[in-house]
Structure 1
Amino acid sequence: MYPVRRCSSLIQRDLAALCLSSRTSAPKHTKLCPLSLPGVTRCGVSTNGPRQPTTSRLSPSLQVGQMGSSSSVRFFSSLAQSLSRAPLEPTQTHTEECESEQVDPETLLRECEEVLRTRPPRPHRDFVRTRASAKHNPQIRVMQWNILAQALGEGKDGFVRCPMEALNWAERKYLILEEILTYRPDIVCLQEVDHYYDTFQPVMSSLGYQSSFCPKPCSPCLDVCGNNGPDGCALFFSRERFRLLDVQHLRLSAVALKTNQVAVVATLQCQVTGRVFCVAVTHLKARSGWETFRGAQGANLLQQLKGILSMQQEEAVPLFVCGDFNAEPSEEVYRRFLNSPLGLDSAYRTLSADGSSEPSYTTWKIRPSGESQSTLDYVWYSRHGFSVDAVLSMPSEEQIGPDRLPSYHYPSDHLSLVCDFSFIQEPHRLM
C-alpha cells in the first residue's frame, strides 16, 4: 500500500475543472489531415499580440468549470478565439501567447494536491548538485518529458498493469501539472502532447510561459476513437526570463524522405545575462528494428540545427536538445549526438560515477509483450556554452512500484528529466 496524500486546506473543487475537457473544448476527430483541425496548422498557431499585465489571483483555469464566474467567461472566450482561428500557411511558425490572467504557482500546486488527495504521492526525487553556481550567473532549469499522449495511453499502448482509472484525464492532467509546478522549470520540453490547445497552452500561459507546438503530420492519436487531435512536440519558456528571437518547426527526414517526426527549435535571449542560445525539442521514431532510421533522423536534425546556429549573429551560440530519442545509448543516433561537431554532451551522464554513463532507465513499463526498462530520454547541451549545476535524481525501483509506469502515482510511462545549467563565462564578458 502507498501512503495517501495529505489533504490541503482548500475547499474541494470540481475535479474536472482545471481546464476545458476534450469533450467541450473541440470536436472529436477521426483520421484526417491535421491541417483541417480548428486552430491547428502543420507547424504553428498565430499570436494574440502582446500580453497585458494582470494581477495574481485564484486560478482562473480552475474556475472554468464554475459557471457564472467572470474569469470563466474570459477564459472561455480567449480559448474559443484560439480554437476558431483560421489555420496559418504551413510555412508560418509562431509562438502562442494567450492573454490570460496570471496564476500564482503555489496556489495552483495546492489545488492540484487537493484534487489528487486520494492518490498516492509521486516519487520523491532530490537534486544532485554537480557544482556550485555563481550568484551573478543565474541558473536555467530545463525539463524534458514525454508526458504520454492521452489517446495513446487509453487506446493503443496497452499498459497491462495500469488500471484504466489511473489514466483518467480529469485527474491525470493534474498529476502532469503537479510535476511541472513542483520543479518550476524555466524551459519545458514535452513530447506526446495531444491536449495542447485545451489544457497546456492556456494553463501554462497563465503561469507565465510562452509556447510553441508542432503536431506530427500523421499522428497515431488520430487512429483512436474519441481522440483530442494529433500529438506533437511542445516547447514552453518563461516570458520573464527569456525573449523570443526566432522559432522554427522542423519535419525530420531520413534518407531524403520526409518522416512523421518533428522538432521545435527556438532562439532565446536571456533577459538577465543578455546571452543568446537555442533550445530544441524532438521525438524520434519508436520501436526496435528502426535503429538505422533513427540514426538518419538524428543526422538530419543535427544538420538542420547546424544551419540554424550558423544564421545567428553571435558566434558559438550554445544549444539545448531535449527529447525522447527512443534509442538506448548503444544506438547509432546516440553516438552521433555525443560525437557531433556541435560539441554536445548528455547532462544525465553527470550522475554516474565515471561521468560517462546514462541512468539505468528513463522509462519502465509492462505491456502485453513483456516488461521494458530502457534509457530513451536525453537532455543534450553544448559543452562550450553551459555547465551542468544539478540534475534531478531518478526514482528507485521501489518508488516506481511493481506495476511500473504509468500508475496512480505517476502520469506517464517516461520519467521527467530536470537539469540546472549556467552559462560558461566567456573572457570578453568578464571584462
Structure 2
Amino acid sequence: MNPARRCSALLNQLCVSSRGGPTARRPFSPAERSSSAGPRYSGVGGRGVGVKGTCPQGKLSGASIAGAALVCPMGGSSSSSSSSSSSSSRLFGTLSQSLNSSPLAQPDLYAEESPDQDLAEVDPDQLLRECEDVLQRRPARPHRDLVYPSGTAPCHHKHNPSIRIMQWNILAQALGEGKDGFIRCPLEALNWQERKYLILEEILTYRPDILCLQEVDHYYDTFQPIMASLGYHGSFLAKPWSPCLDVEQNNGPDGCALFFRRSRFSLQATAHLRLSAMMLPTNQVAIVQTLHCRVTGQRLCVAVTHLKARSGWERLRSAQGADLLQSLRSITSRGGGQSEAPSAVLPLVVCGDFNAEPSEDVYRRFSSSPLGLDSAYKLLSSDRQTEPAYTTWKIRPSGESCSTLDYIWYTHDALSVDCLLDIPTEEQIGPGRLPSYHYPSDHLSLLCDVSFRDEPHRLM
C-alpha cells in the first residue's frame, strides 16, 4: 500500500466511533460500573505581537446566558452538513480492510499496558493534509507562536537535540456531549466524527516526542492505533470509576494516556499508580515511565496525571499531589531500575491537569518539592515567576470559568526549557469560549521543548 493510501486508511480508523464499526468498543451502561480552505494553520515561528486577553473578574450567572442551546445527552440528535459527509467519506475506503484483517485487541477495561498494533507507519504530513481536508468547513484553530524565553532560538548540538513535550486534557467525548453542559458550544461542534480530526490535527501540527493526555475515552479504537502508526508507543490507565460510564452510549472509561516516539526513546520501566489521599485510594491515576534517549544516551522520567476536579476538594488534591510526589521520589531515587549512585539526577517531567490554581496547596507542594521541580509556563511571563492567566476557559450553566489548571513541571537543575507554545488571546478564543468549532477541548494544549543540561547538578 502506497503512503497516500495508508494515510487514507488511517483516517478511516478515526471515523470508527463508539456508535459502531469493526473496532468499536462496546458501550457501557451506568449499571455496569459496579461490575467492572487552504492550510488551516499558518505554522509556528517567532513570538507574535499582540495584546493578551484577560479573564473576567466575576462569573456569569446562568440567567445571563439564557437562550443558548443546551447540550443534549450523548447519542442525541445532531446534524452534520452534507459537505462534511462527502469530504470525509472519500477517506473511509481502505483502513477498515486493514483493520478487519488484523483486528484490534479488546483488552481489559483497566489493563495497564497494551501492545502497539502492527500497522504500517504513515506519512504525518499526508495525514495532516487529510485532516485539513475533512475540516475545511470549520474555522482554523487559533494561531499560536513558539516563544523562546531567552529571546533567541537555541542552537543545539546534534548530539543533544530538544525533546518536544505536549500536555493536553482533550475532553472525554462522553463528558463533552453528555455531562459537561457547554451551553455556548453547539452540539454539532462536539460531534466525534469531526472533533477527533481537530484533536489529531493539533498533535500533527506540533509533532511532540512525548505526548501526555487526560480524559481519553477513545484510546483503544482511535488514539492507540493512530499513534502507533505514527511511530509512537502508547500506555493507558483508566480511572477506576470514570464518570463517562454514567453517560448512555459511552465508549468506556476515560483515563490518562502517555505516548513517546519510538525512534527517540526506548522504555525502561513503567509504573501505573492509583493515587491515594490520607491512606485511602481515590479515583485519580498517574502513569510514570522511565525512558532511555537513543540520541543522548541519557534517561528521562515522565509522568502524566489528572487530579480531582471541582472546588471544595482542595485538601484532597493536595493529598493526591503529596502521594504522587512520594512515588516519584521513590522511582527517581531507584534510578528507574538502574544500578547508579543514589545521588545521580534522573531528570523528571510531570504533565497534568491538576484542577488547581497556582494559589492552591498542591501547587506549592510541587514548586517546593525536594525533586527540584519548576513550572515551564512561568517562563512566558515577564518576571518568569507567574503562570499564564488561563489554560481553560469555558461557560457552563453555573457561569463562566477562566482558570489556570494545567502544568508541565520539569527538573530545572537537569533540564532547560528552550521554547514554549504561547497562550491564545481572548479574541482568538472567541466569545463562546471553549470548546468550539475551531478548538476541540475546553483545555488548551501546552507544549515546550526541553533539553538535557550539559552538566546537571546533583540533588542534595
Output the aligned Cα RMSD.
2.3
Q: Which residue type is aligned with residue 99 of structure 2? A: F
Q: Is the Cα contact below 8 Å between 2:12 and 2:96 reproduced in 1? A: no
Q: Equivalent residues in 2 for 1:358-373 (5 A)?
A: 358-373=387-402
Where 2:245 maps in the other structure, the secondary structure is helix
Report Cα offsets for 1:109-138 as digits up to 9, x if no partner. Answer: 000000000000000000001242422310
- Alpha-carbon distance, 1:106 to partner: 0.4
Question: Residue in 2 aligned with 1:386?
Answer: 415
Q: Is 1:18 matched with 2:14? A: yes
Residue in structure 1 matching 2:202, options 160, 179, 199: 179
Report Cα offsets for 1:319-339 as digits up to 9, x if no partner. Answer: 000000000000000000000
Q: Equivalent residues in 2 for 1:324-335 (5 A)?
A: 324-335=353-364
Q: Is 1:197 matched with 2:220? A: yes
Q: Is the Cα contact below 8 Å between 2:121 and 2:229 reproduced in 1? A: yes
Residues 34 and 318 of structure 1, relative CA distance in 2, 3 Å threshold: farther
- Alpha-carbon distance, 1:31 to partner: 2.4
- Alpha-carbon distance, 1:36 to partner: 6.8
- Alpha-carbon distance, 1:311 to partner: 1.6
Q: In the aligned structure 1, how far is the partner of 2:184 from the partner of 2:148?
A: 35
Question: Residue in 2 aligned with 1:140?
Answer: 163
Question: Residue in 2 aligned with 1:281?
Answer: 304
Residue in structure 2 matching 1:117, options 136, 140, 143: 136
Report Cα offsets for 1:87-111 as digits up to 9, x if no partner. Answer: 49x7x74353111111100000000
Where 1:372 maps in the other structure, the secondary structure is strand
| The 10-residue stretch of structure 1 (28-37 or 231-240) with the greater mean CA deviation from structure 2 | 28-37
Q: Is the Cα contact below 8 Å between 2:25 and 2:252 reproduced in 1? A: no
Q: Is 1:106 matched with 2:128? A: no
Report Cα offsets for 1:389-409 as digits up to 9, x if no partner. Answer: 000000000000000000000
> TM-score, normalised on structure 1?
0.85
Q: Is the Cα contact below 8 Å between 1:191 and 1:323 reproduced in 2? A: yes
Report Cα offsets for 1:59-99 as digits up to 9, x if no partner. Answer: xx999832xx4x5323234343x12x5x49x7x74353111
- Alpha-carbon distance, 1:17 to partner: 5.7
Q: In the aligned structure 2, how far is the partner of 1:121 from the partner of 1:263?
A: 33
Question: Residue in 2 aligned with 1:43?
Answer: none
Residues 35 and 197 of structure 1, relative CA distance in 2, 3 Å threshold: farther
Q: Which residue type is aligned with residue 134 of structure 1? A: H
Question: Residue in 2 aligned with 1:47?
Answer: none
Where 1:258 maps in the other structure, the secondary structure is strand
Uncovered stretches (5+) of structure 2, i.e. residues with no partner: 1-6, 37-87
Q: In the aligned structure 2, how far is the partner of 1:417 from the partner of 1:252?
A: 23
Where 1:177 maps in the other structure, the secondary structure is helix
Using the aligned pairs only, state the percent identity: 65
Q: Is the Cα contact below 8 Å between 1:214 and 1:232 reproduced in 2? A: yes
Q: Is the Cα contact below 8 Å between 1:63 and 1:72 reproduced in 2? A: no
Residues 269 and 17 of structure 1, relative CA distance in 2, 3 Å threshold: closer
- Alpha-carbon distance, 1:310 to partner: 1.7
Q: Which residue type is aligned with residue 308 of structure 1? A: I
- Alpha-carbon distance, 1:35 to partner: 9.8
- Alpha-carbon distance, 1:316 to partner: 1.3
- Alpha-carbon distance, 1:16 to partner: 6.6
Q: In the aligned structure 2, how far is the partner of 1:335 from the partner of 1:266?
A: 24
Question: Residue in 1 aligned with 2:96?
Answer: 72
Uncovered stretches (5+) of structure 1, i.e. residues with no partner: 1-10, 38-60
Q: Is the Cα contact below 8 Å between 1:109 and 1:181 reproduced in 2? A: yes
What is the number of residues matched between the two proteins? 387
Q: Is 1:129 matched with 2:156? A: no
Q: Which residue type is aligned with residue 124 of structure 1? A: H
Q: Is 1:311 matched with 2:326? A: no
Q: Equivalent residues in 2 for 1:142-157 (5 A)?
A: 142-157=165-180
Q: Which residue type is aligned with residue 103 of structure 1? A: V
Where 1:159 maps in the other structure, the secondary structure is coil
Q: Is 1:409 matched with 2:432? A: no
Q: Is the Cα contact below 8 Å between 2:13 and 2:96 reproduced in 1? A: no
Q: Is 1:355 matched with 2:351? A: no
Residue in structure 1 matching 2:325, options 278, 281, 302: 302
Question: Residue in 2 aligned with 1:248?
Answer: 271
Question: Residue in 1 aligned with 2:234?
Answer: 211
Where 1:227 maps in the other structure, the secondary structure is coil
Question: Residue in 2 aligned with 1:27?
Answer: 26
Q: Which residue type is aligned with residue 343 of structure 1? A: G
Q: Is the Cα contact below 8 Å between 2:237 and 2:255 reproduced in 1? A: yes
- Alpha-carbon distance, 1:27 to partner: 1.5
Q: Which residue type is aligned with residue 97 of structure 1? A: D
Q: In the aligned structure 1, how far is the partner of 2:190 from the partner of 2:289?
A: 32
Q: Is the Cα contact below 8 Å between 1:12 and 1:114 reproduced in 2? A: no
